[in-house]
Structure 1
């Protein structure tokens, strides 16, 4: 059971790191980059889902 939680934590950590990397590669203002990075880092699962919804292919407004 412990190995599954460790694996899940590593998957979330890698996904968050990739999301933050994508945020900093985007063309949005630096202030928004900082805010998105903080949201993703402080709320790992929720922040990642929020970013995927906001920046995904089906987003109504591009970031």
Structure 2
């Protein structure tokens, strides 16, 4: 189990970076880009899940 921790951390980091890049590539307000980037960076797993739900295919509001 201890061998998986570094790999999991790297995977979460890569997923967070990709999510932040996705946020900045979209045509949304600058303030929302800042807020989403902070949420994803400060709450890596929870922020990634929140972003995935908000930006997902079935989201009611497009980011």
Which TM-score applies when normalising by structure 1? 0.97
Structure-1 residue corresponding to 2:35:
35
Structure-2 residue corresponding to 1:24:
24
- Alignment length (residue pairs): 63
| Distance (Å, rounded) in 2 between the aligned partners of 1:27 and 1:49 | 21
Structure 1: segments with no counterpart, 5+ residues: none
| Distance (Å, rounded) in 2 between the aligned partners of 1:30 and 1:2 | 40
Q: Which runs of 4+ in 1 moved over 4 A?
A: none
SS for the counterpart of 1:60 is: coil
- Over the aligned positions, Cα root-mean-square deviation in angstroms equals 0.6
SS for the counterpart of 1:2 is: coil
- Residue 48 of structure 1 pairs with residue 48 of structure 2: yes
